[in-house]
Structure 1
């Protein structure tokens, strides 16, 4: 099978296309013919060496495709089932797994292998794709859609009618988080570094769009009649963005971090936190229940995934566009498409 392999850390050119043996599923695993695999900041961090993983490696965790073989003990999926994966597999037997809190599973393991024509995946990480949902859309449901849903609903406990500020709103995570926040009944403010994305963000539900900069906090306060945002969903973790967004957080607001652009740490004076009675917290991944609800939002048309598709052989171009922030929505590799371009 063909696969995009990371043999060394570095820039986009660290990726090479290679022929590998098709893997075989073990106990509790299925073999999936990959139809689509999304690309996100985690893949960039793995590729660049910001995260340490054994090499060589086939990256890719936002996977959707069709089951072509099952291993011993697989009971939930049959050959021919269309499936999508969340970001990690679990044991499925421990207390946290039984209680629906599998993020705490001691055997939780991050998924890899989606940048290939076939991938072996644990059945614990998979859900069937609803009828009518394109596999390229299903591939990004757990990460691009589920991350925002998990952060807003479970961590921030957002209520209908509240105001949510989404940072990095023009990116693959932020654009879908805007839609999720709208689906939850909130008024959404979008913070973006690219003013050219204003109309698209309004199209996807943002009530007000603010461009990042030293006075962004004032624009956010103006848009909320001086009150500020009840919830900030920060997809960037960038110090300059944090300074503006936290300053525009309402009293007793909740500030939820879901991502980090670059390696510079955020600094905050404790006095600013207790003066606001603010909560600063994080949301790291997606529960299976959240993943199921994210797929439902897509199936119902309440969230419209926006993908930019690349053939597997164009993985270097895809990473280059990601690094240079040229991607509209989420970059998705399509193993079965022809090289030489994307749509």
Structure 2
């Protein structure tokens, strides 16, 4: 039997506290880790001492983690920044100890964490990798409502576009491919994953007319990995990789940079996209949206992506056994 998923509270001034009770509609057995005073008024919740403790049907299980201050929707409180960071670390500790099957993280506000607590990481992904022992990881965005599915992994993540050519090294691309290949087998139950690799340049360089990276080192790298038995296609022109017939030919796509990967999936499945951190010793998913300060506290939060993320966490845990 798969254990409970931990849903971390995220930024308490965002839509995270509203999403937690709405996510009960997912049918996933989860526990919310955060300060119950941040939940919307009238929320039916039950405090638990451990992630797996029983709760009444229809009540939100809450693993209490008190914060320094109340939350004002739409306005981050600097003194709560440390609490947000502590909740993430607490969740990792619990799942690493085997007290939960996976973590699903609600959105954080990176600027608020930096200003309020000196948070030194670009985002959740990098912090989780640090907590796991500074492991190499990859960020996957996976669709849940489109067929064929769209799963994308950017080989470089939160950096300026002008920095991408230098950051996209053979080592970085190979790591992204290997992490994705292993995760597709272990977490998605695909024994022989097909992976498509996008070129860096328009038209995958068009034979050197629009860039030489594809011919100089990307194609040779893919040839070497194919010789090891990996099923790889590419380097491919990114602009023809994401229509339905193209997606039917692969299980995951490796892209050169952030927007090359995220624009297609957010166009295809904005509400149902899920962020997955590959390469961790535990499962982590997240809804593919931010804190939405502009609608926080107004009853407009859409739980679709959080529900999709919880379901994916549950299913990945089942695949791992």
TM-score, length-scaled by structure 1: 0.29
Q: Which has the higher contact order (CA 8 A, sep 6+)?
A: 2
TM-score, length-scaled by structure 2: 0.30
The structure in which a higher percent of residues are helix is: 2
